[in-house]
Amino acid sequence: MKYIRHIPAFILFIVGAVLLNYYLPDRDVVQIVGTEVKRIDVESGAPFWDRADIGTIEGATRDVRFINAERANGSTIVYRNEDTGWGFPPYFKFDSGDVTALAQSLAKGEEQWVAVRHYGWRIKMFSIFPNATSIKRVSGPDVLLIPWFNIVFIGLLLALWFFIWRAIRSWKAKRIDPTLDAVGDTIGDAARDVSESVEAGSGRVRSRWRKIFGSPKSR
């Protein structure tokens, strides 16, 4: 039973880890090989897609920009290039056109390595693409990129969780535990009273039995 009560916390942890893995920024060191625009049927608010360029009309069918790239090991990766605007996730990206222009200029150069900052997953089976938020030139494929934002964000999140946990424990110790102890004492007293009443009643029954039928030893 002690493990069952931890199941909701475990489920919450899994859900939180999945959301953080999807929405926190990541960076890939790649070479850009080209860009393209595809007309895709995307419903407004569809998962794994953001929105049309800021200032354009939202619709079920719209043009989506893509950036094609290649990793150092020869594998390929495709990013979508969509604005996020003022909505969620709060990347406040309004310059997908500029990102495409930079990607096109970088695709012309040879041996030009870049760090593509993005969020999301690439799942080929479901045509899911990470959204590229920015592109930055780097010295080479072996450049060290430290995810300072993720480290600070997760650290603050853990600190917030710790303070909330301590506050809940303190509130429980001051409010819940004394109440449960009082309820337990009341139940214990009531149980003792009932036990004493039952014992007293049983004694009276035995006394009357002896008066009416006599003691078993006297027969």
* Topology (CATH level 3) of domain 25-144: OB fold (Dihydrolipoamide Acetyltransferase, E2P) (2.40.50)
pLDDT by residue, tens only, the chain of 219 residues:
567 777 888 899 899 999 999 999 999 999 999 999 998 876 655 677 776 665 555 666 778 999 999 999 999 999 999 998 888 889 999 999 999 999 999 988 778 999 999 999 999 998 899 999 999 999 999 999 999 999 999 999 999 999 988 888 787 777 666 666 666 656 665 666 566 566 656 666 666 666 666 655 554
Domain ranges of the chain: 25-144, 146-219
**pTM attached to this predicted model:** 0.73
Euclidean distance between CA atoms 42 and 64, whole angstroms: 9
> What count of other Cβ atoms lies within 10 Å of the Cβ of residue 62?
19
